[in-house]
Amino acid sequence: MFHSQLIKPMEDPLVQVKNLKTYYPIKGGLLNRRMGDVRAVNGVSLDIQAGQTFGLVGESGCGKSTFGRSILRLQNVTSGEVRIDGQDILSLDREALVKARADMQIIFQDPYGSLNPRMTVRQIIREPLDTHEVGEKVGRDAEVMRLLEICGLRKSVADRYPHEFSGGQRQRIGIARALALKPKFIVADEPVSALDVSVQSQVLNLISDLQAEFGISFLFISHDLAVVQHISHEVGVMYFGELVERASAEELYSSPKHPYTQALLEAIPQPLPGREKKKISITGDIPSHHDPPKGCPFQPRCPVAMPQCAEHKPPLKPLDTFSRHQVSCWLY
């Protein structure tokens, strides 16, 4: 544990995000004027090493999905910098962006909405290959078969339609599609949240195996801290559009520092009957974007808030000089 804390990255991270902001205008009034902004992502910076997984957790509305889509430019970004494998993604023109997409793919949450119901599995997985003209046309079907096999599906499924499969199988198809272009980086946006619990582990194992075999980096977005623990090397916690804590996976779960992280971990129901009932430490709801709190966004609900928390927003900084564990809180 000590060891992983102090290791400095040997090379530049594969994914570097600096101060990403994605704002949506709030329109209102008679003339539909812009009255303010929903700051869905409000200055988030993080980086991911090659072959590693960054788990991004947070509750609904915290901006984690928006963040994932912003990095891939599936969402309009307001400001910031995104570099994948050294390339500045946000400044690419349309043609260059299409080429760059081969390196950065996405897996979606909804196994039912993420596959075109009118296309066969074969057509769905071939589409990326055809769009980027990978190899010769004749070889592409064989590649589709290979991808199906890697994802644990029988070759006979290729000519079936999405509605004939279960949620877990559809997710596998979605994963096969994401792998088709041999990307270096995949954003997994809540990939197991919509699946039955006993199937979740199967898909998580598949993602781990793929990372081990192909060295893909993942941004694993989830609201479920339990799911993220197993699969991530580093974990970041988002609240109201900002990253409030970030650490290696072991560190975050064993010694969470931010009061929100602590509350999240406390709130998870554990399948251990007879455990002493914990006291609910936070109440209330996430703040409204129409009236964002001054200072630290968590302060209205924080059990240990201090007067300065309502005045100045704490920066995200490391616990001490060599630590990779960063917190955004005046307690530290």
Partner 1 sequence: MSESSSKPILNIRDLVVEFKTEAGVIRALDGISFEVGEGEALGIVGESGCGKSVTALSILRLIPNPPGRIAGGSIELDGIDVVSQPEDKMRKVRGSLASMIFQEPMTALNPVFTIGNQMVEVIRVHQKVSKVDAKKQAIEMLRTVNIESPEKRIDQYPHELSGGMRQRVMIAMALSCSPKLLIADEPTTALDVTVQAQVMEEISRLQREMNMGMILITHDLGVIAETCTRVVVMYCGKIIEMAETKELYENPKHPYTRGLLDSIPRIREEKLESLPIIEGMVPDLANLPKGCRFAERCPKAEDRCRENEPPLEDTESGGKVACFIPN
Partner 2 sequence: MSEEGGNTGRESLWSKSRRKLMRDRVGVAAMIVVGIYGVIAILVTFELIGQNWSQLGEEGFGGMSFAHWFGTNINGQDIFSRAIQGTRTAFQVGLMVAITSTAIGGFLGAIAGYFHRTIVDEAIMWIYGCIDAIPFYLFVAAVAFSLKDGPLQPWGMHIAMIATFWSSTCRIVRGEVIKIRSLEYIQAAKAVGVGPLTIVRRHVMPNTSHILLVQSTIAFVGAIKSEVILTFLGLGVVNGVSWGTMLSASTSDVLRGHFGNFLGASGFLFVLVIAFNMFADALQDALDPKKVSS
Which residues are near partner 2 by CB under 8 A? 69, 72, 74, 97-99, 101-102, 105-106, 108-110, 113-119, 127-128, 131-132, 152-154, 156-157, 159-161, 163-165, 168-169, 174, 177, 181
Q: How far apart are CA 259 and CA 305, in angstroms?
A: 9
- Which own/partner pairs from 233-237 qualify as long-range (CB within 8 Å, at least 24 positions apart)? 233/49, 233/52, 233/53, 233/54, 234/48, 234/52, 234/53, 234/54, 234/55, 234/324, 235/54, 235/55, 235/56, 235/57, 236/46, 236/54, 236/55, 236/56, 236/57, 237/57, 237/58, 237/261, 237/264
- Cα–Cα distances (Å) from 162 to 146, 188, 196, in that order, read 19, 20, 17
The correct pick among 161, 214, 253, 332 for binding partner 1 (CB under 8 A) is 253
**Quick one: which of 264, 234, 261 has its CA closest to 249?**
234
Length, in residues, of the chain: 332
**Quick one: which of 235, 176, 171 has its CA closest to 203?**
171
Between 86 and 269, name the residue whose CB sits nearer to partner 1. 269
| 113 Cβ contact list (under 8 Å, min separation 6) | none
Stretch of residues binding partner 1 (CB under 8 A), selected from 6-14, 127-135, 155-163, 165-173: 165-173
5 contributes a contact to partner 1 by CB under 8 A: no
Between 76 and 166, name the residue whose CB sits nearer to partner 1. 166
Q: How far apart are CA 67 and CA 75, in angstroms?
A: 9
Vertex 119 angle, CA 163 and 202, to 5°: 50
> Binding pattern to partner 1, positions 34-73, x when CB under 8 A?
-------------------------xx-------------
Minimal distance, residue 80 CB to partner 1, in Å:
26
Stretch of residues binding partner 1 (CB under 8 A), selected from 22-30, 131-139, 267-275, 312-320: 267-275
Q: Is 193 exposed, middle or buried (0-12, 13-18, 19+ CB in 10 A)?
A: middle
Q: Is 216 helix (H, G, I), strand (E, B) or coil?
A: coil
Minimal distance, residue 35 CB to partner 1, in Å:
18
Minimal distance, residue 42 CB to partner 1, in Å:
19
78 contributes a contact to partner 1 by CB under 8 A: no
Minimal distance, residue 252 CB to partner 1, in Å:
11
Between 138 and 280, name the residue whose CB sits nearer to partner 1. 280
Between 152 and 318, name the residue whose CB sits nearer to partner 2. 152
**Quick one: which of 66, 78, 72, 173 has its CA closest to 117?**
173
> Binding pattern to partner 1, positions 205-244, x when CB under 8 A?
x--x--------------xxxxx-xx--------------
Minimal distance, residue 41 CB to partner 1, in Å:
18
- Is residue 89 within 8 Å of 73, Cβ to Cβ? yes
156 binds, among partner 1, partner 2, none (CB under 5 to 8 A by kind): partner 2
110 binds, among partner 2, partner 1, none (CB under 5 to 8 A by kind): partner 2
Sites of contact with partner 1 (CB under 8 A): 59-60, 166-169, 192, 196-202, 204-205, 208, 223-227, 229-230, 249-250, 253, 263-275, 277, 280, 282-283, 285-286
